[in-house]
Amino acid sequence: MRKVMETVVQFIPDKHPDPLMRKHGYIGKPLRRVDGPLKVKGEARFTAEFDIEDVAYAALVHSTIAKGRVTRIDASEAKRMPGFIAIVTHENAPKMKNPKLLNVMDLAQGVGGSDLPILQDDKVHYDGEPVAIVVAETLEQAEHAAWLVRVEYEAETQSVSFDALKEKAVVPSDVLGEEPTVKLGDADKALSEAAFKVDHVYRTPRHNHNAIEPHATIASWGDDGNLTVFDSTQFVNGFKHQLATVFSLKPKQVRVISPFVGGAFGGKWSLWCNSVLCAAAAKVTERPVKLALSREGVFRVVGGRTLSEQRVALAAGKDGRFLGLIHTGTTATTTHANYPEQFSLTPRHLYASENMFAGQKIVNLDTVANTWMRAPGESIATFALESAIDELAHAMKMDPIALRRINEPQKDPTKDTEFSMRNLVEAYPRGADRFGWSRRNPEPRSQREGAWLIGQGVATAYYPFFRWPATVRVRISSDGTAIVQAAAHEMGMGTATVQIQHAAERLGLPVDKVSFHYGDSALPDSPITAGGSSQTVTIVAAVQLAVEKAHRELLKLAHRNGDSPLAGARYERIEARDGGLFRTDEAKGETYSAILRRARQAFIEVEKSTGQAMEIMKYSMASYGAQFCEARVNEETGEVRLSRWLGSFDCGRIVNPKTAASQFRGGIIMGIGMALTEETMFDERRGRIMNRSLAEYHVPVHLDVPPIEIIYNDIPDEHAPLGARGLGEIGITGAAAAIANAIFHATGKRVRDLPITLDKLL
């Protein structure tokens, strides 16, 4: 892949209270991943790799009906197998409370993937629901014994057909804490009167989580009744609180450890039943137990993305101005997840339209609970909305970028607040220039090379800004090193690297003198870190406060001694550099080591917490981007090949261009999968996922991915910590629409039903 990174516009607010908004140093440098060598050498330990003495292995027995009850479990044959230790079913499971679903008012309680009871009764709620967990001395013995367990059921009438139920879809009580429906003016009327309009239905299929590391847990109970869990989670504190709820423990009796996670994408955010079952099995057997899900196991017990059916209707005047925007639709969830996938939030913030109607409905199915998946809501919403805009542009014979520009809002269309900073109109021409958009002949089917039809498409990327309260601890030692501790997560995105860059810059220390401890619930508790593309700023904001507190305390130590060059200096007149604190009025100061040694202290340690992100209440905050792609479609075979990609992003300041570009690319690759290959095949007779493997569930491979060029506006957002907004999820947004639009341009065929497989193009 070509590496093109550009840093162009630099607007640094000079009155900003944080000096790091104006100072670069390590910020903005493409530092290499601090854990790169560990990973390359295979020394980075992932959950299933922890060596625990006396560990036993577990395997699950999954229900083969979608609804009903278990009438008989015959484990007699399994029990005779070598190595068999125990089987836990609803008949002998320990008493466990149900996990709790997300409560937007109390995020600190963590999130259950579902709030179903786990092995507490004979009821079955979805195909694949575990009905037993078998423990044996080895993995093979556990799997073999589980295979021999015979389960009998009494099936009840199941609701698993989305199409059969969608007419009866209902409006959910809320959509992630927002009103399920918003209405401005009268969009229907605008649609009936407009000079130009498009009105279509777009469909996206179910998707399943396929992180490189399947979900794994090792659970062990201490003699003190405390529970220690190694888990591949992206939410150690959420797991701590949820497991405490389930096992009726105090949160401090539970420790969750997760130093490295092999990708999560939202699938490891909620506590799923596998982690609970592993802890239950450990309790029953009084042994540490390891439960590493197979790829198939992840498909069965971990939810994925809902399917969706979305209607987008756009009405425009002759000048292209939107007179009406309707974006509605239906998704599937379950009564035990209550998660509508917030696609209708996207249109509320993207375009100016006097008349708007955005809202969504749900149907409840008897399936595994659906869940978050990278840019949940926005990725499917942008497919529908950004396809519709392309359709309208084509109908009006207008350039799709010009049409978007005309409808660029001056303030948030539904929140009615100012944007903290929105430079999408900068990202578009920069991307267009670099991609060569102006050379494109807008006529569909106007470019070909032999059997290959060639087209270019564009779409807007959008992901909202989040920042959560967080607590961090900072220790500065007399040997001139510092440690930052936070219950944060490394799922491969470069968390430790970026946090070290920031902390080192703020402390005035070299990066190799700063360490970052994370991935352990014993570290300071934060409600959410790795969710909503928010981790970098969530931790940065708390580190900023903690470092300030540490500096004030160090200054106090210095004041106690008249010999210190810092004696009498005010906090406002010092800066951190060269391993210590220096006066800004005169060139003198001293190192942390000198201050601490004189005070005869080995270190100073402080802890600080941030509160709610006030900036989100005050402003409309989001990351933006423009996705450009070129697709080649073989006229004879319908095969699609992407030949070029350029993403031009507007995500505030970029803290590390190397890890940022990887995040953007990763998101775009997921978007390519969404557009062209990914589809969970669901058997509506059984309520069962049929393609439970990577052989049949197709994610993009190297050959599917064109060179991806990444550029960005590097404009600090003065209302975001360090000027940075999120970039973990935005890459997937707009990507599927850009591809659908390029395919339309190449072939003249509009596909509104993902994935765009070759049968739809022939």
Work out how close the CB of 155 gets to ligand MOS at its nearest, in angstroms, rounded to a whole number: 34
The long-range contacts involving 439-446, CB below 8 angstroms and separated by at least 24 positions, are 440/745, 442/394, 442/397, 442/399, 442/745, 444/394, 444/744, 444/745, 444/746, 444/747, 444/748, 445/746, 445/747, 445/748
CA distance 664 to 671: 11
CA distance 264 to 732: 15
> What's the one-letter identity of residue 289?
V
Nearest to 390 by CA among 406, 373, 374, 404: 404
CA distance 22 to 24: 7
CA distance 498 to 659: 8
Residue number of the CB atom closest to ligand MOS: 266
Is 24 within 8 Å of 243 (Cβ atoms)?
no
Alpha helices in 371-423 (DSSP H): 378-396, 400-406
Helix, strand, coil abundance in the chain, percent, nearest 5: 30, 25, 45
Work out how close the CB of 531 gets to ligand MOS at its nearest, in angstroms, rounded to a whole number: 4
Nearer to ligand MOS, 28 or 494 (CB): 494
Nearer to ligand MOS, 221 or 265 (CB): 265
Work out how close the CB of 529 gets to ligand MOS at its nearest, in angstroms, rounded to a whole number: 10
Work out how close the CB of 286 gets to ligand MOS at its nearest, in angstroms, rounded to a whole number: 35
Work out how close the CB of 113 gets to ligand MOS at its nearest, in angstroms, rounded to a whole number: 13
CA distance 616 to 609: 18
CA distance 516 to 659: 17
What's the burial of 403, exposed, middle or buried (CB within 10 Å: 0-12/13-18/19+)?
buried
Tell me whether residue 679 is one of the annotated catalytic residues.
no
Residue 416 has phi, psi (to 5 degrees) of 60, 30
Decide the pairing of beta strands 56-62 and 84-89: unpaired
Q: Which residues contact 759 (CB under 8 A, 6 or more apart)?
A: 638
Work out how close the CB of 755 gets to ligand MOS at its nearest, in angstroms, rounded to a whole number: 20
Work out how close the CB of 421 gets to ligand MOS at its nearest, in angstroms, rounded to a whole number: 22
Which residue shows structure tokens 């939810």?
303
Preceding peptide of 755 cis, ω within 30°: yes
Work out how close the CB of 621 gets to ligand MOS at its nearest, in angstroms, rounded to a whole number: 16
Which residues are 59's β-sheet partners? 134
Nearer to ligand MOS, 378 or 714 (CB): 378
Which residues are 201's β-sheet partners? 311
CA distance 347 to 108: 29
Nearer to ligand MOS, 493 or 676 (CB): 493
In the DSSP assignment, the letter for residue 97 is P
In the DSSP assignment, the letter for residue 27 is T
Is 589 within 8 Å of 581 (Cβ atoms)?
yes
CA distance 590 to 564: 8
Is 646 within 8 Å of 458 (Cβ atoms)?
no
Residue 753 has phi, psi (to 5 degrees) of -140, 105
Nearer to ligand MOS, 535 or 713 (CB): 535
The tokens for 56 are 């036993």
Which residue shows structure tokens 């309208």?
392
Is 618 within 8 Å of 627 (Cβ atoms)?
no
Which residues are 455's β-sheet partners? 631
CA distance 27 to 606: 23
Work out how close the CB of 533 gets to ligand MOS at its nearest, in angstroms, rounded to a whole number: 6
- Region label for 717, one of left (φ > 0), alpha (ψ between -120 and 50) or beta (otherwise): beta
Nearer to ligand MOS, 88 or 373 (CB): 373
In which element (H, E) is residue 358 found?
Answer: strand 355-364
Residue 708 has phi, psi (to 5 degrees) of -115, 115
Work out how close the CB of 235 gets to ligand MOS at its nearest, in angstroms, rounded to a whole number: 9
Nearer to ligand MOS, 376 or 508 (CB): 376
In which element (H, E) is residue 639 found?
Answer: none
The residue annotated as part of the active site, out of 386, 391, 490, 729, is 729
User: What's the per-residue H, E or C state across 587-621?
Assistant: CCEEEHHHHHHHCCCCEEEEEEECCCCHHHHHCEC
Q: Which residues bind ligand MOS (CB under 6 A)?
A: 264-266, 269, 372-374, 376, 531-532, 729
Quick one: CA dihedral 700, 701, 704, 706, positive or negative? positive
Is 733 within 8 Å of 382 (Cβ atoms)?
yes
CA distance 721 to 713: 17
Active-site positions? 729
